[in-house]
Amino acid sequence: MRLVFAGTPDFAVPCLRAAAQKGEVVAVYTQPDRPAGRGRELTPSPVKREALLRGIPVMQPENFKSAVSKEALRALQPDLMIVVAYGLILPQSVLDIPTYGCWNVHASLLPRWRGAAPIQRAIEAGDTRSGVCLMQMEKGLDTGPVLLSQALDIGENETGGQLHDRLSALGAQVLSDGLGLLRADIHPVPQPQPIEGVTYAHKLDKHDARLDWSQPAHALANKVRAFNPWPMAEANVAGERLRLHGAIALDEAHDAPPGTLLRASREGLDVACGVGALRIRVLQRDGGKAITAADYLNGRRDLVR
């Protein structure tokens, strides 16, 4: 099979490797190099780096609006285009070019969490299940019929980064299964998504990570898990802005105003929430690295009563 792969971040790399094992990847599409790091130097995407290591030609159009970009794709004569966290919306005129259309690997159990940040939004919402869907792409945002899917449980203390890595590996397996069926001329039957149960995973922004102490402790603990490692939850605690790497909710009754530091011990910093309290166990000060609450209190003896 002549495959074209379109993807950009780390999440997509295992899928590119799976595609390369199941067919001939004749080209890789990825986002243009972007400034990164303190020097703001142009940096290739993880997918581009993987493609170059494999000697696969790389294409980096700004979009697919021009006739030139569409003709370049058509000239590749792809049997199938595989899209994994590419970052560009493909018009119908592009979806129609490959013989078997375009497949998308999406990190949720559709129709729940269509959109840009399904992994983090699932944890933020307190979901206990997630998974991967292999979807036949159509013009709508993650609305296409599902070809294959695989579910997994979300761990009670699992972070966004940990779930990202597990779903990335699972996505590669589901894609490999789908490509194996296609090579054997067994076409997965597209299953239309249910009309009910649609939710949207809006793109993450740094302002999402700012904790509101008036919310319940369980909701804030989910945010801390969801936004680790990015954008990382942050809040004012005892007069200092901290980034929170690890926290748990305490079902504790109190009458303190939200945001009040209830107690500080080696087990953590307990902060009053709208309901219950949040125990901060791993944190980061401005300009510092992640440390335990016990290590933090070595420098904040004023908090220990």
Cα distance between residue 132 and residue 151, in whole Å: 6
What tokens appear for 86 in the block? Answer: 């590419």
What tokens appear for 175 in the block? Answer: 């894609």
Annotated ligand binding at 110? The verdict is yes
Are 78 and 2 spatial neighbours (Cβ–Cβ below 8 Å)? yes
Cα distance between residue 96 and residue 93, in whole Å: 5
Annotated ligand binding at 90? The verdict is no
Tokens 């003896």 label which residue? 301
- For residue 168, report the phi and psi dihedrals to the nearest 5 degrees: -60, -45
Annotated ligand binding at 91? The verdict is no
C-beta atoms surrounding 249 within 10 Å: 19
What tokens appear for 281 in the block? Answer: 């166990």
Tokens 């792969």 label which residue? 5
- Give me the numbers of helices (H) and strands (E) for the chain, helices first please: 8, 17
Contacts of 256 (CB under 8 A, 6+ apart): 262, 272
What tokens appear for 44 in the block? Answer: 């290739």
Cα distance between residue 278 and residue 249, in whole Å: 5
Annotated ligand binding at 278? The verdict is no
DSSP 152-183: EEPPTT--HHHHHHHHHHHHHHHHHHHHHHHH
Best CA proximity match to 228, nearest among 168, 288, 162: 162
Cα distance between residue 215 and residue 220, in whole Å: 7
Binding site residue list for (6S)-5,6,7,8-tetrahydrofolate? 108-111
Binding site residue list? 108-111
